[in-house]
Homo-oligomer: A and B are copies of this chain.
Amino acid sequence: MLNGKAAERKISVETVQRVLAAAKDVNYTPNALARGLRQKKTHAIGVVFPHLRNDWAHLIMRGVVEELGASETVPMIVCHHGDAELEARLLRSLVERRVDGIICNPLRNGMDRYRDVVRRGVPLIFLGDAPKGLDEIPCSAWDPAAVHLAVEHLLALGHRRIVYLGSRDNRVISEARRHVFWDSLRQAGLSPSRRDIILSSTSEDVGDGPLELLRGENPPTAFFVEYDDQAVSLYQLLDDAGVACPRNVSIATMGGSPRSVSAGCCLTTVSAPVVDEGRACAQRLMSMIDEPEHKPERAYVHGGSLLVGQTTGPVANSKPGSRGTP
C-alpha cells in the first residue's frame, strides 16, 4: 500500500489516509538498503568526475538530471580530484553499494580499474573520452569533427602554418581530434608535418615547445590547442614572453562551454554541447541497465559552434617569411 498501488488494488481512500497518517506517526522511513538488497536494484547510478571545475560537471549534471527526469533513479556524484587511488576507492565503493550503473570521465591510466567494474557486472559508460584499448566499454563523447570548425576559422584568417598542441594522453577522442586536424589541413591543400603536432604530458600544461618553435625558422602563425586549460597556459606563456596574442600568433581551442568562456578570458574556442553529452550518456547508461543483452558502441554527440574570441586574428603580414596560398 505504501507502494502507491492503492487505486489499482481498490483500497478505500479512507484507509489509505489512515495508513499514511500512521506511517507518519511512527516516522516510517523506507529502508533503501533492505530494498536494494532484496530487489538487486538500487535505483542509483554513480557519476565519477575528476573535478567539479569550470561549470563542466555542472552542465553534465544538468543533462543527466534532465534525462533521468521523473525516473526514480538518483545520480550520486563522486569526485576524486585526479587522484588515481581515490578514484579506485570510489569506484569500488560504488560497485559494492550496488549502484545500477556508472558514468565515468576516465583517467588515462585507469584501465584495470574500469575493467574491474565491468567484470563485477556493473554497467559502465565513459563520458567525454575513453582510454585506448577498452573498446568493450561504451563511451559517449563529443564528436571530434568539431575540430574542423576551429581549423577552418584559422585557415580563413590566412593561417597556413598551424601547430597542434595536445597532450599525450592515450585516449581515443584526443587521438581522433588530431586526425581531424590533420585531415582538415590536407583538405585545404596543405601538407602538415609530423612535427606540427606537439604533445605534452599533462592536459593542463604546455611545455616550452611553443616558444622554441616561434623563435625557430618558419614559425607557426597559429596554434590549435586540444583542451582549453592548455590554451590558457599557452596564452600566459606567450604573454610572459612578450608575444602579442591576436597580433603575432593566434590561438584557437576546443571545449569551452558558452558560459565558462564568457566568464573567462575570451579564447576563441569551439563550444562543447556539454548538456547534451550528459543527457546522451545518461540515456545510454539507462538503456544498458534495462537491456543488458545488447552492448552499445561508442557514440558521438554532435554539436558545438565556434565562439570567436579575442585570441584569433588575421596573419600578421609584417613577416615576409610566410608562404603564399597554394
Q: Find out whether the CB atom of B44 lies under 8 angstroms from the CB atom of A97.
A: yes
Quote the shortest CB–CB distance from A186 to chain B (angstroms): 36
Q: Which residues of B contact A263 (CB under 8 A)?
A: 263-265
Q: A119 an interface residue at 8 Å Cβ cutoff?
A: yes
Quote the shortest CB–CB distance from A83 to chain B (angstroms): 9
A232 to B, closest residue via Cβ:
B263
Q: Find out whether the CB atom of A90 lies under 8 angstroms from the CB atom of B61.
A: no
Q: CB within 8 A of A93: which of B74, B86, B90, B93?
A: B74
Q: A79 an interface residue at 8 Å Cβ cutoff?
A: yes
Q: Find out whether the CB atom of B51 lies under 8 angstroms from the CB atom of A74.
A: no
A79 to B, closest residue via Cβ:
B61
> Measured between alpha carbons, how far is A77 from B81 in the docked complex, in Å?
14
Q: Which residues of B contact A265 (CB under 8 A)?
A: 263
Q: Find out whether the CB atom of A33 lies under 8 angstroms from the CB atom of B37.
A: yes
Q: A3 an interface residue at 8 Å Cβ cutoff?
A: no
> Measured between alpha carbons, how far is A89 from B75 in the docked complex, in Å?
12
Q: A311 an interface residue at 8 Å Cβ cutoff?
A: no
- Within A36-85, the residues touching B (CB, 8 Å) are 36-37, 42, 44, 51-55, 57-58, 61-62, 65, 74-79, 81
> Measured between alpha carbons, how far is A101 from B315 in the docked complex, in Å?
59
Q: A34 an interface residue at 8 Å Cβ cutoff?
A: yes
Quote the shortest CB–CB distance from A79 to chain B (angstroms): 5
Q: Find out whether the CB atom of A29 lies under 8 angstroms from the CB atom of B95.
A: yes
Q: Find out whether the CB atom of A31 lies under 8 angstroms from the CB atom of B96.
A: yes
> Measured between alpha carbons, how far is A112 from B118 in the docked complex, in Å?
41
- Within A1-44, the residues touching B (CB, 8 Å) are 27, 29-34, 36-37, 42, 44
Supposing A52-B57, A61-B52, A76-B77 touch, asked if A33 and B27 sit within 8 A by C-beta, the answer is no
Q: A98 an interface residue at 8 Å Cβ cutoff?
A: yes
A94 to B, closest residue via Cβ:
B74
Q: A120 an interface residue at 8 Å Cβ cutoff?
A: yes
> Measured between alpha carbons, how far is A50 from B53 in the docked complex, in Å?
15
The 10 closest A-B pairs by CB, nearest first: A77-B77, A52-B58, A32-B96, A33-B37, A32-B97, A76-B76, A33-B36, A33-B33, A74-B93, A52-B52
Query: 8 A-B contacts, Cβ less than 8 Å apart?
Result: A29-B96, A31-B96, A44-B93, A53-B55, A57-B57, A65-B79, A74-B78, A74-B89
